[in-house]
Structure 1
Amino acid sequence: MIPLVLVHGFMGGSDQWRLQAPLANDGQVVEIDLPGFGDNADLPPINSIGGFADWVLQYLASLGIDRFHLLGHSMGGMIVQEMMRRQPQSIERLILYGTGPVGVLPGRFETIETSMRRAQEDGPSATARRISATWFMKGEDAETYPDCAAIAERSSLAAIMAGLEAMRDWSGEDALAAISAPTLVIWGDGDRTYAWPQAEVLWKTIPDCRLAVVPGCAHAVHLEEPELFNRIVTKFLREM
């Protein structure tokens, strides 16, 4: 079976995928912790999307994994686009979830510059709690918000600033038409981080691309509607 690699987003970590455990029924699932975040919060942060992509590819090579399905969420969606640019022959199927083709996010709940300034003023813990609340339709009242915020709070200020810098300086628009793997875009219609036009560009530009819009969800579909999210992913990966 071809393994599925999950790449989390900004201030995320492998623990955020606990409700995706059923995906392992179809084969190995590899949950990445990016440097500076999650279980790798002690590693030096990386400040470029390309640098993150190189790190993930090297990590997978160290595990002996050279062929895989790839799912990236949010900033992780940018990272997996760069992985596709670097090593397309390794990627069987690609899932771009709650993400877009550019790092400067038009329509984001606040600009990246504002997030950088507020992170320095408020500190990493307050920033983690504040930003992770925007990922849910119900904000801090969402059932899975506390666990998600706890993962985000593991991020240091240096990691937060590096991640924001990485997104700010990245664009993958010129590589979309060259994506050769069958691709699925997943987007929650209440996403306040990545507005519809960004998901639409992915869907309309990538040659072999399908779209799943999940109503009543924000940026954390996999936590707000985990059973539906898992069914969508499983169905796509089974279309072999």
Structure 2
Amino acid sequence: MEEQFFDTSDGRIAFYDNRADGLALVMLHANSICKESFALQITAFGNTYRTIAIDLPGHGGSSDATDPRRSYSMTGYANAVSELLAGIGVTRYALLGHSLGGHITLELLARVEKSIAGAIIFGTPPIENSIEGLIAGFVPSPDMAYTGSLVITEEQVGMIARMALGKQDEGNETFLAAIWRTDGRARQYMMEDAQAGKTSDQRKVAETTAIPLLIINGADDPVVNLDYVDSLSYRNVWTGKPIRLAGTGHAVHREEAQAFNRLLAEFLETIT
């Protein structure tokens, strides 16, 4: 699929869009990763849905943010996604968010519910907007320090690929290049903003939204506190509770693509 570009107030956004008819499936990647991480979903769903995969500002083929302090936050990323979708004429869509992309999905749910037919998040604990919320939603790990680091080391690059996308991708040159390319301020400012409690109360959003919500997590996710995610009282989560896929970590969409895509297909059928 050919990479396309659209100029927004946050900078130039790179994205894939097959421009097909039908409901749009909008894909949002993890911290320091890129739209190519959804290649298996673009292939699987491109004949059925309008598949759109986006590089966030400061990531992948997108430019660095024109105003980093404004754009490099969950609310700023959500604004950039909304501006892009409006600019390319997408008014009704489902959101598919991985890790940071899932947090952006919850930000969008908090503000533009009327445009969203359904939402899928994975590797994303819905957290309260506080330090306590961050502590509750994530598993403590020194490796997680990179999520807010301005500068990363060569050793960290492979670790980030492995943690975010699985062992099968720790040497993938596309993703290693994307991690190196990421504007370090995108990590630093986003984490500072989150720690300051400037996001929406994403726990409340996930628990109360009327929009159909699918939550999938890898049973061996080293990052997410799965018991916390499962303990929340959701109003409209699909199947009645979050789903755990056995034998997978933080990137269920790549580690167990067949099972993930099957669940995604069933969910999308219910909302269309």
Report the TM-score when normalising by structure 1: 0.86
AA partner of residue 95 (structure 2):
L
Q: Distance in 2 between matches of 1:136 and 1:38?
A: 15
Q: Distance in 2 between matches of 1:167 and 1:133?
A: 24
**Which residue in 1 is equivalent to 2:186?**
159
Please say if 1:14 is aligned against 2:25: no
CA contact (8 A) 1:36 1:43 kept: yes
Q: Distance in 1 between matches of 2:238 and 2:210?
A: 10
Structure 2: how far apart are the matches of 1:175 and 1:160?
23
**1:33 equivalenced with 2:55 (yes/no):** yes
**Contact between 1:187 and 1:212, CA under 8 Å: does it hold in 2?**
yes
- The answer to whether structure 1 residue 64 and structure 2 residue 89 are counterparts is yes
The Cα shift of 1:200 comes to: 1.2
Is contact 2:215–2:237 with CA below 8 Å preserved after alignment? no
Q: Quick check: 31-40 or 172-181, which moved more?
A: 172-181
Alignment partners' CA distance in 1, 2:102 and 2:112: 15
Instruction: Give the structure 1 partner of residue 8 of structure 2.
Output: none
Q: Does 1:78 align with 2:103?
A: yes
- More divergent stretch after superposition (59-68 vs 227-236): 227-236
- Aligned partner of 1:191 in structure 2 is 221
Amino acid at match of 1:205: Y
Q: What SS does the aligned partner of 2:142 have?
A: coil
- For structure 1, the 5+ residue unaligned runs are none
Q: 1:4 aligns with which of 25, 29, 34?
A: 25
Structure-2-length-normalised TM-score: 0.76
What is the identity, as a one-letter code, of the residue corresponding to 1:144?
A: D
Q: Is the 8 A contact 2:215 2:238 kept in 1?
A: yes
Task: Report the Cα distance in structure 1 between the residues aligned to 2:208 and 2:108, rounded to whole angstroms.
Answer: 13
Q: Which amino acid aligns with 1:22?
A: A
Alignment counterpart, residue 96 of structure 1, candidates 109, 121, 125: 121
Distance (whole Å) between structure 1 residues aligned to residue 227 and residue 189 of structure 2:
26
Bigger RCO (CA 8 Å, 6+ sep): 1
How many angstroms does 1:9 deviate by? 1.5
What SS class does the counterpart of residue 93 from structure 1 fall into?
A: strand
Report the 3-state secondary structure (helix = DSSP H, G, I; strand = E; otherwise coil) of the residue aligned with 1:205. Answer: coil
Equivalent residue number for residue 209 of structure 1: 238
Change (3 A) 1:4 1:201: farther
1:51 deviation in Å? 1.3
* Pair 1:106-2:133 in alignment: no
- Percent identity (aligned): 27
